[in-house]
Amino acid sequence: MKPGREVIVCRNESEIADCLQVRRGVFTVEQGIDAAEDLDGKDSRAVHALARVDGKPVGTARVVIKGKTGRVGRVAVLRQWRKQGIDVALIEAVKKEARKRRVTEYILDAQISATGFYEKIGYVKTGREFMEVGIPHIKMQKKVN
């Protein structure tokens, strides 16, 4: 990463609070999703990654692990920091942590507008388009070798 930039796996409530702040900025403010929809009760058992630039939170992602499956979600990068590789670094950080727990596949519900990004990093579409929180989504999957 460039100087002043870091991606960490969250280890405390303060870091997770920074993740929630980024999610509010992207999902609630930018996309108009009700904040209650974002808070699904899974954050306490998820692995979270946080991206910071000069100490300020700019991106987040999480993975919820169940058995050998990791559900990637809540991937959010503040608008001014997009298209700079932060999203990839966040997903790699949560995947690295999930691999330690023997995860063999990753699944996610991608916003249709983000499917190209996920396909570039190895995910494939596995279902039909559906609506979630008023936004078109599709299920995607990536197997680990």
69-106 tens-digit pLDDT: 999 999 999 999 999 999 999 999 999 999 999 999 99
State the average pLDDT over residues 31-50.
Answer: 94
Cβ atoms within 10 Å, residue 100: 8
pLDDT band at 59 (very low <50, low <70, confident <90, very high): very high
Architecture of domain 5-143: 3-Layer(aba) Sandwich (3.40)
Cβ atoms within 10 Å, residue 119: 14
CA distance 84 to 59: 11
The domain segmentation of the chain, as residue ranges, is 5-143
Residues 50, 86 contacting (CB under 8 angstroms): no
So what's the pLDDT on residue 10?
98
